Amino acid sequence: QVQLVESGGGLVQPGGSLRLSCVATGYDYSSGCGGWIRQAPGKDREGVASIDSDGSTSYADSVKGRFVLSEDNAKTTLYLQMNSLKPEDTAMYYCAADSRWPVGGPFLYLAVPNFGNWGQGTQVTVS
């Protein structure tokens, strides 16, 4: 059974940094796409960053140059390094993964529950 567990969220001042982690059990991120989706109250979901099965990464325009998505050598953990945080980055951040798609295109439009696997989310508050 696949399980994704996020951690690393918290309260940070504008301009600060956080690093989110998503540990997968029963899943290998080289099996398909993986990444992060954020959801803030009253706002549409936003695919923040995704990684393809070959390791290629993509980012939302709103975070390019500030966020970096990476994975560990075992390809069981995703990291989202978030720098120069802004109040508008405040949201619940969900890790998601799906072996059906090798490329992270679905992160642009799919809601979290439509992925094959997702975590419980970690709250990021920038204030």
Q: pLDDT digit string (tens) for 4-58?
A: 999 999 999 999 999 999 999 999 998 999 999 999 989 999 999 999 999 999 9
CA distances to 2, 58, 82, 102, 104 from 66, in Å = 30, 13, 6, 25, 19
pLDDT tens sequence across 55-98? 999 999 999 999 999 999 999 999 999 999 999 999 999 999 99
Residues 120 and 104: their CA atoms lie apart, in Å, by 20
User: Which of the four pLDDT bands, split at 50, 70 and 90, describes residue 110?
Assistant: confident
